[in-house]
Amino acid sequence: MPKYYYVAVNEKNRKYKNEMVAESAEEVRKNLRARNLNPLSVVEASKKEEEQSIWDMEIGGNKDVHTLTLNKKKMLVFFHQMALMMRSGISLSVAMEVMIDSEKDKKMRSILRDISVNLYNGFTLSRAMGMFKTFPILYINIIQAGEANGKLDESFEQCTQLLKKEMKLSGKIKSAMMYPIFLLILTIALIIVMSVVVMPSFKDLFASFGSDLPALTKITMGMSDFLIKWGWLVIIAIVIICITFTVLLKKNYAFAMWCANLTIKIPIIGEVVRLTNVARFANMMATLTESGVNILDSLTLSRDVIGNMYMRDCLSQVIEDVKIGTPINISMNRYKDVFDSLFTSMVRVGEESGQLADSLRKIADMYEEKADTQFSQLEKYRKDTGNIITNMWNRVVFTKKFGKLLEPDVPVDFKQYKDIYVFCDSDPIGYYLSYKKIYYHALEDGLDTLKYCDQARVTNRGHFGIKAWMAAHNLIFIENGYAKYCLDMEVNDISACPH
């Protein structure tokens, strides 16, 4: 008698895969039903071996189709095409067959084929999709709500729009974090190159001077000697620190919470991260409540899509408050570092008017736009217009607007300090201090940058005299001692300064 491979599930949806010897596939199905198992597929062993070519075999053995994962773009295409076919009046079973026939990706085709088999065996679509790891519970609930109210096309469309926004917001967060990480890596690389390659070449030159070097230069030379001699130890230490940081982040709840809280407090970048996460939460919450999911489930599912651990913890506290009858806006108002007054006010209006989904949708769009324009509002003032007068005017406007933009993210009241010393006032702090009309002292770094490259003249080449006069009158900002509120600049070697 031939041997058959079968896949079946029990009443609790637990899956069983095994083999059975029988006269026919129908006999296998009959035996499985006698054991209270619902057969999903029955394939004769010889046919299965013939159908699977060596190119279809996966390295490391066959994978359970329910553990396969899809990327978000592939999932977005699936939701979009299903929404179109449902809206066109095509039945669900036919739509699945069309998707299977047109799909070229092997993983996606395997998933769709398994869903189709489950549909023919009496499963609902949400239950069939829920068996797969790749579909988040959020989208399963939206589709389940669509099945309940008979608007499956709208549910797929909601999934499509939600996933689009999710991908867009995830991209914004990655972009916001990528630039500072890149700058940090580049800075470390430059310090290593300068210390190991460039500074040793100046050692004999400095020794020939026969005089004491400035303290900062001595420190820099000492760092260079240390890196050359003990660089391998520094690399090992960095690797250990990175591993320790990663382990603590995964294993230590308090440390992970501290890092998450710190992330949203980083000037400018932290605000972008907060806005995008809150917008993501509002979008999810609006979609779920519109789909008929109850408030507690909507809050729980929406919380799980937030990437910041501290913000998720705040929402967990909100959920606990809502369970005992506290209005959402009152509970959120306790976490002002996550939910600002505008957000809680909009939630309150939505709760009181019964239009919570509409309020959340509006606030999500508002926050997305705010995150997009956090810096783009300044871009038009940095473009070359080809006219010196227009360029100068744009420079004046940019200086004022940039200083004002930085103000909410500066945690220190500089006016309470008698003396302020600043390294590299070309960084945003110089713009901020000039905008607030706070006097400060500038310091040259230990690499003698003024001796080898006066950055102020390089970045402001062309009509430098006019620009220097404007900086002296606080119309624009120029680094390295040219700003009106820069009292003086301490340099390593005054004779090295040509100006």
User: How far apart (Å, rounded) are the C-alpha atoms in residues 251 and 348?
Assistant: 37
Name which residue leads in pLDDT, 290 or 452.
290
Query: What pLDDT, on a 0 to 100 scale, did the predictor assign at position 55?
Result: 40
H-assigned helices in 122-266 = 125-130, 137-149, 152-193, 199-207, 215-251, 253-263
pLDDT band at 37 (very low <50, low <70, confident <90, very high): confident
Residue 195 pLDDT grade (very low, low, confident, very high; cuts 50, 70, 90): confident
pLDDT tens by residue, 386-406: 666 777 777 777 777 777 777
**Of the candidates 137, 136, 144, 4, the residue with the CA atom closest to the CA atom of residue 70:** 136
Provide mean pLDDT across the span 278-297: 81
481/496 Cα distance (integer angstroms): 15
Give the model's pLDDT for residue 369. Answer: 67
- Tell me which range, 63-72, 106-115, 188-197, is most confidently predicted by mean pLDDT: 106-115
Least confident of 51-65, 67-81, 206-220: 51-65
How buried is residue 472: exposed, middle or buried, by Cβ count under 10 Å (0-12/13-18/19+)?
middle
* Phi, psi dihedral angles at 425 (to 5 degrees): -70, 0
3-state secondary structure of 27: helix
Q: Which of 333, 346, 363, 350 is nearest to 289 (CA)?
A: 350
Tokens for 308?
């910041």
Distance between first and last Cα of the chain: 98
Q: Given this model, what pLDDT does residue 460 score? A: 67
Nearest CA to 88 out of 182, 161, 1, 157 is that of 157
Can you state the percent helix, strand and coil of the chain, rounding each to 5?
Answer: 65, 5, 30
* pLDDT surpassing 90 at residue 103: no
135 or 276: which leads in pLDDT: 135
Beta-bridged to residue 9, according to DSSP, are 15, 38
- Mean pLDDT for the stretch of residues 479-495: 76
8 Å CB contact between 143 and 126: yes
172 close to 279: Cβ distance less than 8 angstroms = no
pLDDT band per the 50, 70, 90 thresholds, residue 236:
very high
pLDDT for res 288: 79
Query: Over 80: is that where the pLDDT of 130 sits?
Result: yes
Strand-pairing partners, residue 7, are 17, 41
Question: What's residue 56's pLDDT?
Answer: 44
Q: Percent of the chain at pLDDT above 90?
A: 1
More confident residue, 49 or 165: 165
Confidence of residue 382 (pLDDT cuts 50, 70, 90): low
pLDDT at 53 over 50: no
| Model pLDDT, residue 450 | 64
pLDDT reading at 458 higher than 70: no
Is 165 in contact with 142 (CB distance < 8 Å)?
Answer: no
Max CA distance (Å), the chain: 101
What's the rounded Cα separation, in Å, for the pair 312 and 302? 9
Locate 435 and state its tokens: 């905008």
pLDDT at 198: 75
> Cβ distance 308 to 176 under 8 Å?
no
Each residue of 74-92: pLDDT tens digit?
888 888 888 888 888 888 8
pLDDT at position 355, please? 83
Residue 240 has pLDDT above 90, yes or no: yes
Strand ranges inside 278-327, DSSP E? none
* Residue showing tokens 């190991």: 196
In angstroms, the CA 37 to CA 14 distance is: 10
Cβ contacts of 499 within 8 Å, gap of 6 or more: 454, 457
Distances (CA, A) of 419 to 217, 440, 443, 486: 24, 7, 13, 11
Summarize pLDDT for 305-349 with one digit per residue, the tens: 787 888 888 888 989 988 888 888 888 888 888 888 878 888 888
Read off the pLDDT band of 58 (50, 70, 90).
very low
